[in-house]
């Protein structure tokens, strides 16, 4: 139980870190001299951002979900896909809350995020399972 909780928290931290850092890369979106958390600046960003910002946000969300799913799946012993998808679910709920809290997200972004979090976190778990199965098969062949 503790191991699974640590795995989910670790996967979420990886995903959130990747998403947050990728949004902060472009100083047009969040100025480098801004002192504080990006969430404090988020309301004005969402209202004034162009489409490229939301495309970058979707890409970083996909990469974050994928790597978060991989980290989680590496740490849990069983039900790798289920725990990785839990990360996708938590990230999706967070994104939905963000959409309702900070008005101004384009409709295409709101629809697209449903196709990002679950599939990419699921894919992260499947990559780990595939690599682990391949390792087991290769070790059995060498014996």
DSSP of 50-89, one letter per residue? -HHHHHHHHHHHHHHHHHHHHHHHHH-SS-HHHHHHHHHH
Tell me the pLDDT of the chain averaged across its residues. 85
User: Among 14-28, 29-43, 62-76, whose mean pLDDT is lowest?
Assistant: 29-43
pLDDT bracket for residue 138 (50, 70, 90): confident
- Would you state the pLDDT for residue 142? 67
Spatial CA neighbour of 35 closest among 26, 24, 50: 24
pLDDT bracket for residue 48 (50, 70, 90): confident
Q: Domain limits at 14?
A: 2-142
Number of domains, the chain: 1
- Would you state the pLDDT for residue 25? 75
Task: Tell me if 92 sits within 8 A of 117, measured CB to CB.
Answer: yes
Identify the three-state secondary structure at position 96. Answer: helix
- Would you state the pLDDT for residue 20? 83
Identify the three-state secondary structure at position 34. Answer: coil
- Would you state the pLDDT for residue 39? 64
- Would you state the pLDDT for residue 18? 92
Q: What is the pLDDT of residues 24-40, one digit of tens each?
A: 776 666 555 556 665 66
**Whether pLDDT at 86 is above 90:** yes
CA angle 15, 45, 124 (to 5 degrees): 15
CA distance 114 to 111: 6
Note the pTM of the prediction, 2 decimals.
0.83
């Amino acid at each position: 139980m503790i191991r699974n909780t640590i795995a989910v928290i670790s996967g979420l931290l990886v995903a959130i870190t990747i998403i947050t850092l990728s949004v902060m890369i472009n100083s047009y979106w969040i100025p480098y001299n801004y002192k504080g958390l990006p969430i404090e600046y988020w309301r004005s960003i969402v209202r004034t951002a162009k489409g490229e910002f939301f495309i970058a946000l979707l890409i970083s969300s996909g990469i974050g979900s994928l790597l978060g799913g991989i980290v989680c799946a590496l740490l849990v012993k069983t039900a790798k896909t289920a725990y990785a998808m839990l990360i996708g679910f938590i990230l999706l709920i967070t994104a939905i809350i963000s959409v309702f809290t900070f008005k101004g997200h384009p409709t295409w972004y709101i629809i697209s995020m449903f196709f990002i979090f679950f599939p990419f976190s699921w894919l992260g778990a499947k990559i780990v399972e595939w690599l682990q199965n391949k390792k087991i098969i290769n070790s059995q062949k060498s014996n």
